[in-house]
Amino acid sequence: MTGEKQKNAVILAIESSCDETAAAVVRNGREVLSNIISSQIDLHTLYGGVVPEIASRKHIERINQVIEESLSEAGMSLEDMDAVAVTYGPGLVGALLVGVAEAKAIAYGAGKPLIGVHHIEGHISANYIENKELKPPFLCLVVSGGHTHLVKVKDYGVYEILGRTRDDAAGEAFDKVARAIGLGYPGGPKIEKAARQGDPRAIAFPRAKVADHPYDFSFSGVKSAVLNYINGCRMKNIPIVEADIAASFQQAVTDVLIEHAMTAAEEFQMEQFAIAGGVASNQTLRSKMEAACRERGLKFYHPSPVFCTDNAAMIGAAAYYEYLAGKFAGWDLNAVPNLKLGER
Ligand code: KG4
Ligand code: ZN
């Protein structure tokens, strides 16, 4: 199907898998007519992480307004939509259910087809929005709070997972280390900011490899190394330099991500490489990855930060290719918290 089929479709997309309530209107998978995101970060910051029960309640409170805003910003009504798309997994079950129930009700009431979208497929598809020329095949590194996947995108909606994390996701490691050095939630942007004042060579944190699986990742070791380093400093009464810890940790994580991704790109002779997910908004990762791609003659793609972290425009982008393929969901669509990529 790559590149050949074209059909006009305007899709209302809904995303509620974690702590952002989001809705967007997307034309033909690549043109974002509106992208409304209501973040709950401030609420969850109080607890140092996402509280699932609070997330579900807030989604219920906000979802109708977010959808109304997305339609009005696009200057359209429900009648103008060709389909309603929603993230149905993976994610927090109570949070997903709010979006799924809402999308089903709206689509059924308006007589529109329903499309269920995999959250990771959404993250990958965020790359289509600002890179109109990007088409499969390409290699994509998905780095978010819940996932670290190295994925070969063979065609629209056709994926092969080459590697994944064995323990913590990359974003989860950022969040845990940020908490340990007292920076708070969400950790990624706070570590990135602190790291700007630090020396990335100050502390030698480990770069883990998984034996016999060159594309798999493990981040629990580097996280423990940071915790041990902090405890060691405290016991020896050595001052803790947060900026150096943040910079050295960020360096260790980005080194591993780049090394594994570039090994896979070479092995599978890929010509295009993309990054996606919340951690892909990290400027150090982006510029190091860009340099690594340039060295190897690989074309490098990345979404703008607003399309890296959770949003519904990426769900609308992914949904368009499901629409073209005629993959519609039934009214029995349910939330699947541990949905696997490629599973249908
Ligand atoms: O994709 P996302 O919004 O949600 C999930 O699907 O998980 O990713 C959120 C994750 C969090 O762990 C957050 O700390 C991380 O992305 N993150 C970052 C940055 N911005 C967000 N990590 C590193 N650097 C950043 N600038
Ligand atoms: Zn996400």
Considering only residues 181 and 342, tell me which one the structure prediction assigns the higher pLDDT: 181
Within-domain flag for 340: no
Claim to verify: residue 233 and residue 295 sit in the same structural domain? yes
Overall number of domains in the chain: 2
Mutate which of 181, 279, 287 for ligand 1? The one with the most ligand atoms within 8 Å of its CB, which is 279
Span 161-173, average pLDDT? 96
Within-domain flag for 88: yes
Within-domain flag for 341: no
Give long-range contacts, CB 8 A cutoff, 24+ apart: 129-133.
Answer: 129/26, 129/30, 129/32, 129/303, 129/307, 129/313, 129/314, 129/317, 130/303, 130/304, 130/307, 131/301, 132/30
What is the rounded average pLDDT for all residues in the chain? 95
For residue 271, the CA-to-ligand 2 centroid distance in Å is: 25
Claim to verify: residue 116 and residue 139 sit in the same structural domain? no
Q: For residue 166, give Cα distances in angstroms to 32, 123, 129, 149, 277.
A: 35, 20, 30, 10, 18
Claim to verify: residue 142 and residue 188 sit in the same structural domain? yes
CATH code at position 10: 3.30.420.40
Angle at 47 between CA 45 and CA 53, to 5 degrees: 105
Treating both helix axes as pointing N-terminal to C-terminal, what angle do 220-235 and 242-267 enclose, rounded to 10 degrees? 160
Claim to verify: residue 257 and residue 110 sit in the same structural domain? no
Within-domain flag for 331: no
Q: What pLDDT is attached to residue 3?
A: 45
Within-domain flag for 329: no
Locate the ligand 1 atom nearest the alpha carbon of residue 186 and give its number. Answer: 14
For residue 146, the CA-to-ligand 1 centroid distance in Å is: 9
For residue 188, the CA-to-ligand 1 centroid distance in Å is: 6
Residue 4 pLDDT class (50, 70, 90 cuts): very low
Q: What pLDDT is attached to residue 343?
A: 52
For residue 336, the CA-to-ligand 2 centroid distance in Å is: 15
Q: What is the pTM of this model?
A: 0.95
Residue nearest to atom 16 of ligand 1 (CA): 278
Claim to verify: residue 119 and residue 105 sit in the same structural domain? yes
Claim to verify: residue 104 and residue 220 sit in the same structural domain? no
By residue range, what is the domain housing residue 189? 135-303
The beta strand positions in the chain, using DSSP E, are 10-15, 20-27, 31-39, 83-89, 114-118, 138-143, 148-155, 158-164, 272-276, 299-301
Query: Residue 344 above 60 pLDDT?
Result: no
Within-domain flag for 336: no
Claim to verify: residue 314 and residue 210 sit in the same structural domain? no
pLDDT tens, position by position, 132-149: 999 999 999 999 999 999
For residue 311, the CA-to-ligand 2 centroid distance in Å is: 8
Span 161-182, average pLDDT? 95
Within-domain flag for 21: yes
Claim to verify: residue 149 and residue 254 sit in the same structural domain? yes
pLDDT tens, position by position, 300-337: 999 999 999 999 999 999 999 999 999 999 999 999 99
Treating both helix axes as pointing N-terminal to C-terminal, what angle do 283-295 and 242-267 enclose, rounded to 10 degrees? 30
Residue 1 pLDDT class (50, 70, 90 cuts): very low
Is the distance from the beta carbon of residue 309 to the nearest atom of ligand 1 less than 6 Å?
yes
Is the distance from the beta carbon of residue 18 to the nearest atom of ligand 1 less than 6 Å?
yes
For residue 274, the CA-to-ligand 1 centroid distance in Å is: 16
pLDDT tens, position by position, 172-218: 999 999 999 999 888 999 999 999 999 999 999 999 989 889 999 99
Residue nearest to atom 7 of ligand 1 (CA): 145
> Concatenated DSSP letters for 29-55?
TTEEEEEEEEE-HHHHHTTTS--HHHH
Claim to verify: residue 268 and residue 317 sit in the same structural domain? no
Is the distance from the beta carbon of residue 188 to the nearest atom of ligand 1 less than 6 Å?
yes
Claim to verify: residue 222 and residue 102 sit in the same structural domain? no
Within-domain flag for 259: yes
For residue 145, the CA-to-ligand 2 centroid distance in Å is: 7
Claim to verify: residue 186 and residue 80 sit in the same structural domain? no
Q: What pLDDT is attached to residue 5?
A: 58
The H or E element spanning position 221 is: helix 220-235
Residue nearest to atom 13 of ligand 1 (CA): 188
Task: Please give the share of the chain, as a percent, with pLDDT higher than 90.
Answer: 90
Is the distance from the beta carbon of residue 171 to the nearest atom of ligand 1 less than 6 Å?
yes
Is the distance from the beta carbon of residue 90 to the nearest atom of ligand 1 less than 6 Å?
no
Is the distance from the beta carbon of residue 145 to the nearest atom of ligand 1 less than 6 Å?
yes
5 and 329 Cβ atoms separated by less than 8 Å: no
Locate the ligand 1 atom nearest the alpha carbon of residue 283 and give its number. Answer: 26
Residue nearest to atom 19 of ligand 1 (CA): 188
pLDDT tens, position by position, 25-66: 999 999 999 999 998 888 888 887 888 999 999 999 999 999
Span 110-127, average pLDDT? 98
Is the distance from the beta carbon of residue 278 to the nearest atom of ligand 1 less than 6 Å?
yes
For residue 290, the CA-to-ligand 2 centroid distance in Å is: 22
Claim to verify: residue 115 and residue 201 sit in the same structural domain? no
Query: Residue 254 above 70 pLDDT?
Result: yes
